[in-house]
Structure 1
Amino acid sequence: MSAALPVLSQEAPVLKVATTEYPPFEYVKDGVLQGDDVETVRTVLQAMGYEPKFQVLPWARAEMMVRRGNADLLFSLTSSPERERHYLFTAPISEARDVLYARKNAGLSWTSYNDLADLSVGVTAGYSYAPEFMAWLMQGESQVVTMNQENPDLAGLRMVAMGRVDVFICEQTACDYLIETNKGHYPELSRVAALPGVVGDERFFRAAFSRKRPDARALRNEFNQVLKGLGLAATD
């Protein structure tokens, strides 16, 4: 009688995934990466048969890793023609809505970008906003203040609260979350709120595969198929 052959375990292939802290979409709590977009990406990749290896970095470094092919996938980000040169974007994984934050007692409102003329406008370095908004900023009608801090959205909100910037553009879900969870430590955040009106159209956050991978298109297509099959895609 022959001896039984040992069963060889097969480990799932690893995909290197880069992201940054952007609560509530992705953030680290008690040493664990979590958030709605994290769970979506993890669930889809595991359903595809891959084991995601997440690395949390400042946004500029995360982008550079994926552009150079040192990581396979990046999330969460909006698509743009410039970014399309480096990535193959997936279908939407969540919605994005950029708004302007100001001090509650500042008496500010806007219906067109020209209403922001002569104001200081805070933006986050490396972020992609509505093209018409970026084009208006390039005209020089306002003073642009760029946030390069490790947590740029929190820094921008605090600068508004302290009167160092008039308005700050931010994704509303993310910045409302930052205000609510940080106002105990930074009481000045209670003085800040979103102004009515959306900057550009409501957009979508996506994941993006590095074009440096020869199989990037096949991975992106499979990701989209699984995302839709699991009912996790945001409405495009």
Structure 2
Amino acid sequence: MRRLPLLICALLFRCGLAAAEPTVELATGEWPPFVSQTLPQDGAFSQMVRQAFQRAGYQIHLNYMSWPQAEAMIRMGKAAAAFPYRPTPEREAEFDFSAPLMRSTSYLFYHKPHMPHPPLQFKSLDELRGYRIAIQLGYWYIPLFQQHKLNTLQTNDEINALRQLQLGHLDLAPMTLERGLFQIHSSMPEHEKEFGYIPTPLDKETPLALMFSRAYPQAARIRDDVTRALEQMEKDGTLKAIYQRNFPGAMPPR
């Protein structure tokens, strides 16, 4: 009988610790296969983020919204961080970034029937001025495309961009490799072989990170706590294991 009170005390103590963990607001958006409400545990990137905050002693609440809204939310201090975001000079002037949780590379996708002879290599984006290129608001490449004076057209999302390629209304659509292949496979599997991507990377490996607010309560403390947790996850192989579990197969040929 003595064990029962001790067991109850232990359970109450553990419940008290769980209740004491503060809940942190985070902002994100639909970006499968990295982040999505339709994927197990909200996708690979969310799994990494959730475990990092848990190790740091925090619970998280995910707020799904558009990427411009997510950026505005952390600017106003209504969320501690948004993810996944690529560090850029413009963003680093306003926000703090974690070390990359994963890296990816962006390519320009095209529709083979409408572009049987794509530019397989390019040394400068200036060489692409003759092509109609899809863009979406809030993406990192917009200032770069503007700098090179490319012919761009805003589309609602990447699936719409792919459909515009299929219809011949646009020529190229920039996406990370995992993202582009996932979107084609999931949204138009019967036409999967009709799409390809230019093998010249649009950029170097893209770091995908947490973008921290400077206005959220206890922002610096949260950032430092999570930074330490991410360092541990990098050292013990947790980040790599989560990535491999979510992306186990080799990528299809180009």
For the criterion TM > 0.5, the same-fold answer is yes
Which of 190, 212, 216 matches 1:213?
216
Higher fraction of strand: 1
DSSP 3-state at the match of 1:224: helix
Is residue 35 of structure 1 aligned with residue 40 of structure 2?
no
The AA in structure 1 aligned to 2:125 is Y
**What is the rounded CA distance, in whole Å, between the counterparts of 2:208 and 2:180 in structure 1?**
15
Is residue 93 of structure 1 aligned with residue 101 of structure 2?
yes
- Note if contact 1:80-1:128 (Cα within 8 Å) is conserved in structure 2: yes
- Note if contact 2:25-2:79 (Cα within 8 Å) is conserved in structure 1: yes
Identity, in percent, stands at 23
After superposition, give the CA deviation of every residue in 1:79-130 in whole Å (9 maximum; x if it has no partner). Answer: 1121123321101011121110111131111413233122111112111128
Which of 116, 119, 123 matches 2:128?
116
**What is the rounded CA distance, in whole Å, between the counterparts of 2:154 and 2:178 in structure 1?**
21
Deviation at 1:135, TM superposition (A): 1.5
Deviation at 1:131, TM superposition (A): 6.0
- Note if contact 1:157-1:189 (Cα within 8 Å) is conserved in structure 2: no
Is residue 26 of structure 1 aligned with residue 35 of structure 2?
yes
Deviation at 1:162, TM superposition (A): 1.2
After superposition, give the CA deviation of every residue in 1:41-72 in whole Å (9 maximum; x if it has no partner). Answer: 00000111110001111222122111111111
Is residue 103 of structure 1 aligned with residue 106 of structure 2?
no
Instruction: Point out 4+ residue stretches in structure 1 off by more than 6 angstroms.
Output: none
**What is the rounded CA distance, in whole Å, between the counterparts of 2:193 and 2:76 in structure 1?**
41
Deviation at 1:183, TM superposition (A): 1.5
Farther-moved stretch of structure 1 (97-106 vs 212-221):
212-221
CA 1:233–1:129 in structure 2 vs 1: closer, same or farther (change >3 Å)?
Answer: farther
Identify the residue that residue 24 of structure 2 maps to in structure 1: 15
CA RMSD after TM alignment: 2.4
Structure 1 portions without partners, runs of 5+: none
Identify the residue that residue 65 of structure 1 maps to in structure 2: 73
Which of 49, 62, 66 matches 1:54?
62
User: How does 1:43-192 map onto structure 2 within 5 Å?
Assistant: 43-105=51-113, 106=115, 107-109=117-119, 110-111=121-122, 112-129=124-141, 132-136=144-148, 139=149, 142-147=150-155, 149=156, 152-184=157-189, 187-188=190-191, 190-192=193-195
Identify the residue that residue 226 of structure 2 maps to in structure 1: 223
Higher fraction of helix: 2
| TM norm structure 2 | 0.79
